[in-house]
């Protein structure tokens, strides 16, 4: 009887405690179920305290009471806002795992942006991971992670190496499988990075630590992982070789795409063009591990390589012969490039391939040790090309030089003085400084060019390039200033300025000249001292000089000018400086050099600017209007200036 009394007593106590808990729980919605319930925080902002009962009912924690989580709430009426819920009281193992993760460590450091439980799981609306409405439902995880990682400011603030990873993932084969096809088995963020145990890539226990990447990918791609482990790359990974490629080196990380997408790193045309050369053309790797860099180059020069560069998918690339995940050295009997296996490998594209396919080198490296036959042929033809083409150049140069001597004699004996000594010197200095400025300036922009390499790749060359560019700029400016003085304060210069100044008649002469060249009119336009071509070139030089000076000095004295101008304006000046230089140089090559070298009447060279003189016949043909003026004044008899 006493036993039953004890049992009854304990049952009543349990019932009382349950009722007491439920009573307090029932009273919470009486306040928090009111939609107009608000409180004012320390900043004076109104905060709603309403909690939708339907959210609680759909939560995975629906069987818990409010005070099971908000344990510090002791009184029904409490004016102090409850503190953060300590999920670790129930989920102890998960909390310990989180505390060791990258997010957890940042949270412990006091980083407010670090995610806590409710940031990923929700608060009152926590649902199971198999619930499609749950934040941690597989199909929802990428967007849930994106809520934080899409912020460019956060990526910069915390040195996150990949900016906006969801955008890349969205276009990937994994992202499309999740978002477009709803394939719940496709990889999402936590499959590769972990969830509560997410760690940095430099952490040896991280799923994305370099040597752990193959096993991470192997969780889904198990068969390929087993093949990869036996390959030359897989063995290098097992040997902890820091340069050994892993899955992400060939397939990329967040933006993994299938082989049929042209932007994919494993698209057939890209494999031999960029993916494999990324390592096999890197000097650091090829020198250290004895790889032959020329193999990539020779492939691109081969029949297969030419078709590959043209974008053809069906042509053989590196992987076609060497394999994809099962790449092995040629000495391995299982290797697809083992001499015994080559007929079969080649036969996949070339039916009936026999033993001859295995004879000779595939990647022809020009060396007497590797392929003596090709080496000898190459040497013979190099000698033939030098002798035959060199002889042709020498022969034709003699013809051109003879014509240059004749042109020089004609110009020297000419009676019409077109340019005086001052103008000749100005032009010579302008030509030299312009050429030096162009070469030294473009060397900085195109450092890999053969003619620029020595000026930027060595410290001495870089100093020389910088100094010569500035010296040439100063001389160029001085020449331009002297030309300005000459044109304004010298009688001869003022006459030249009047002659080269554009007039409305130039438009008529331009139209007439075009019609003459097209054969629409028979009469050649009568140009005065300067034709519209020369006028356009001179004033373009004036404009370009002003632009280059205005943009060049802020680049030269960058620290000084940045005290008074923003960086974005300096960047604009740099862009203008480069493109104006490109425009000016191209114009000189296409326009000025044409009239100096390639114009039929001037070929092979116009020496007027060198001697300062032209013949009376040349003046009559090219400057008929000026010729008629001078003839009427009888200025040819004593070789007076035109």
- pLDDT: is 52 or 429 the higher one? 429
Omega cis (within 30) before 604: yes
- Rounded alpha-carbon distances, angstroms, from residue 574 to 396, 545, 577: 43, 15, 5
- Given a contact cutoff of 8 angstroms between Cβ atoms, the answer to whether 605 and 407 are in contact is yes
In this structure, the strands spanning 38-40 and 46-48 are antiparallel
Query: Tens digits of per-residue pLDDT, 48-103?
Result: 778 888 888 888 988 888 888 888 887 777 777 788 888 988 999 999 999 999 99
Q: How confident is the model at residue 638 (pLDDT cuts 50, 70, 90)?
A: very low
Of 409, 419, 388, nearest to 642 (Cα)?
A: 419
* Residue at token pair 């412990």: 108
CB within 8 A of 479, min separation 6: which ones?
Answer: 426, 429, 430, 433
pLDDT at 365 (0 to 100): 55
pLDDT in tens, 298-348: 676 677 777 777 767 788 888 888 999 999 998 899 998 888 888 888 888
Q: Report whether pLDDT(532) > 90.
A: yes
In DSSP terms, 39 is beta-bridged to 47
Choice among 10-14, 229-233, 248-252 with the minimum mean pLDDT: 10-14
pLDDT of residue 20: 47
pLDDT value of position 85:
87
pLDDT tens by residue, 187-246: 999 999 999 999 998 899 999 999 999 999 999 999 999 999 999 999 999 999 888 999
Q: Given phi > 0 = left and psi -120 to 50 = alpha, else beta, which region is 311? A: left
Torsion sign, CA atoms 222, 226, 228, 234:
positive
pLDDT above 60 for 637 = no
CATH number, domain 414-633: 1.20.950.20
pTM as predicted: 0.59
Structure tokens, 256: 């993994």
Residue 16: its pLDDT value, please? 46
pLDDT tens digits for 478-519?
A: 999 999 999 999 999 999 999 999 999 999 999 999 999 999
> In this predicted model, which residue has the larger pLDDT, 398 or 376?
398
pLDDT for res 518: 95
- Strand-pair partners of 38: 48
The residues, ordered by sequence, that sit 6+ positions from 280 with a Cβ below 8 Å of its Cβ are: 286, 291, 293, 295, 296
- Of 292, 278, 289, 291, the residue nearest 249 (C-alpha): 278
Q: Do residues 206 and 212 make contact, with C-beta atoms less than 8 angstroms apart?
A: yes
Give the pLDDT confidence score for residue 477 in this predicted structure.
97
Mean pLDDT of 356-378: 67
Mean pLDDT value across the chain? 85
Query: Quick one: average pLDDT of 352-381?
Result: 71
Rounded Cα gap, residues 244 and 237, in angstroms: 6
Tokens of 106: 């940042």
* Tokens matching residue 166: 């969801």
Domain spans of the chain, in order of start:
2-83, 369-412, 414-633
* First-to-last C-alpha distance (Å) of the chain: 142
CA distance 485 to 25: 96
Q: Say what the pLDDT of residue 419 is.
A: 93
The DSSP result for 85-145, as a single string, is --GGGT-HHHHHHHHTSHHHHHHHTT-TTS--HHHHH-STT---TTSTTSTTSGGGHHHHH
Query: Percent of the chain beyond pLDDT 70?
Result: 88
Strand, helix or coil for residue 339: coil
Question: Per-residue pLDDT averaged across 558-583, rounded?
Answer: 94
Is 60 exceeded by the pLDDT of residue 257? yes
H helical segments located in 413-524 = 421-445, 453-456, 459-489, 491-500, 505-517
The pLDDT value given to residue 356: 76
Who wins on pLDDT, 163 or 120? 120
Q: What is residue 370's predicted lDDT score, i.e. its pLDDT?
A: 58
- pLDDT value at 549 more than 90: yes
Q: Is the dihedral angle over the CA atoms 246, 250, 252, 257 positive or is it negative?
A: negative
**11 or 638, higher pLDDT:** 11
Instruction: Map 365-417 to HEC letters.
Output: CCCCCCCHHHHHHHHHHHHHHHHHHHHHHHHHHHHHHHHHHHHHHHHHCCCEE
The mean per-residue pLDDT over the stretch 549-563 comes to 94
Q: What is the pLDDT of residue 72?
A: 82
Place of tokens 């000898």: 376
| Rounded Cα gap, residues 243 and 228, in angstroms | 16
Asked if 300 and 273 touch (Cβ cutoff 8 Å), the reply is yes
Which tokens sit at 505? 């008649």
- Its sign, for the CA torsion 218, 223, 226, 228, is negative
Please write the tens of the pLDDT for every residue from 586-605: 999 999 999 999 888 888 88
Mean predicted confidence (pLDDT) in 263-284: 82
Helix axes 532-556, 567-587, angle to 10 degrees: 150
């Amino acid at each position: 009887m006493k036993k039953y009394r004890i049992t009854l007593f304990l049952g009543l106590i349990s019932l009382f405690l349950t009722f007491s808990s439920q009573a307090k729980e029932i009273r919470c919605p009486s306040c928090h179920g009111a939609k107009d319930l608000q409180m004012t925080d320390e900043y004076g902002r109104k905060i709603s305290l309403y909690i939708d009962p339907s959210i609680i009912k759909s939560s995975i924690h629906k069987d818990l009471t409010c005070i099971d989580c908000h344990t510090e709430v002791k009184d029904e009426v409490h004016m102090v806002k409850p503190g953060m819920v300590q999920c670790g009281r129930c989920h102890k193992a998960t909390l310990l795992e989180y505390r060791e993760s990258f997010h957890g460590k940042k949270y412990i450091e006091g980083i407010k942006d670090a995610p806590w439980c409710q940031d990923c799981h929700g608060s009152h609306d926590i649902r199971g991971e198999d619930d499609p409405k749950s934040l941690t439902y597989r199909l929802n995880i990428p967007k849930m992670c994106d809520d934080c990682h899409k912020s460019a400011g956060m990526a910069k603030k915390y040195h996150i190496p990949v900016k906006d990873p969801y955008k890349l993932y969205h276009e990937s084969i994994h992202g499309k499988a999740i978002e477009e096809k709803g394939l719940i088995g496709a990889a999402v963020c936590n499959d590769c990075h972990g969830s509560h145990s997410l760690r940095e890539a430099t952490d040896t226990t991280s799923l994305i630590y370099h040597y752990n990447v193959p096993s991470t990918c192997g969780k889904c791609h198990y068969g390929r992982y087993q093949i990869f482990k036996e390959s030359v790359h897989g063995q290098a990974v097992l040997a902890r070789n820091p340069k050994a490629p892993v899955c992400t080196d060939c397939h990329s990380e967040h933006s993994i795409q299938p082989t049929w997408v042209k932007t994919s790193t494993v698209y057939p045309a890209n494999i031999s063009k960029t993916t494999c050369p990324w390592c096999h053309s890197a000097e650091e790797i090829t020198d250290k591990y004895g790889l032959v860099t020329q193999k990539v180059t020779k492939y691109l020069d081969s029949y297969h390589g030419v078709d590959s560069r043209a974008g053809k998918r069906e042509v053989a690339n590196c992987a076609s012969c060497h394999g994809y995940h099962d790449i092995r050295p040629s000495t391995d009997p299982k290797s697809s490039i083992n001499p015994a296996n080559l007929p079969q490998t080649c036969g996949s594209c070339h039916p009936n391939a026999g033993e001859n396919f295995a004879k000779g080198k595939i990647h022809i490296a020009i060396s007497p040790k590797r392929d003596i036959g090709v080496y000898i042929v190459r040497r013979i033809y190099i000698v033939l090309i030098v002798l035959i083409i060199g002889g042709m150049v020498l022969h034709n140069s003699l013809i051109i030089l003879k014509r240059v001597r004749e042109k020089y004699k004609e110009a020297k004996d000419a009676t019409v003085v077109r340019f005086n000594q001052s103008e000749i010197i100005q032009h010579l200095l302008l030509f030299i400084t312009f050429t030096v400025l162009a070469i030294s300036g473009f060397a900085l922009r195109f450092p890999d060019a053969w003619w620029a390499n020595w000026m930027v790749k060595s410290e001495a060359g870089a100093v020389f390039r910088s100094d010569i560019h500035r010296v040439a700029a100063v001389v160029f400016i001085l020449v331009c200033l002297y030309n300005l003085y000459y044109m304004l304060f010298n009688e001869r210069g003022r006459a030249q300025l009047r002659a080269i100044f554009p007039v409305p008649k130039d438009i008529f002469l331009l139209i007439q000249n075009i019609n003459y060249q097209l054969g629409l009119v028979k009469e050649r336009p009568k140009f005065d001292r300067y034709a519209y071509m020369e006028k356009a070139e001179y004033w373009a030089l004036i404009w370009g000089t002003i632009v280059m000076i205005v943009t060049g000095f802020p680049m030269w004295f960058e620290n000084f000018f940045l005290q008074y101008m923003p960086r974005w304006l300096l960047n604009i000046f740099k862009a203008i400086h480069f493109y104006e230089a490109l425009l000016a140089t191209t114009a000189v090559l296409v326009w000025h050099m044409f009239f100096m070298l390639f114009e039929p009447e001037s070929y092979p060279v116009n020496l007027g600017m060198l001697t300062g003189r032209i013949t009376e016949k040349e003046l009559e043909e090219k400057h008929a209007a000026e010729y008629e003026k001078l003839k009427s004044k009888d200025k040819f008899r004593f070789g007076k200036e035109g």
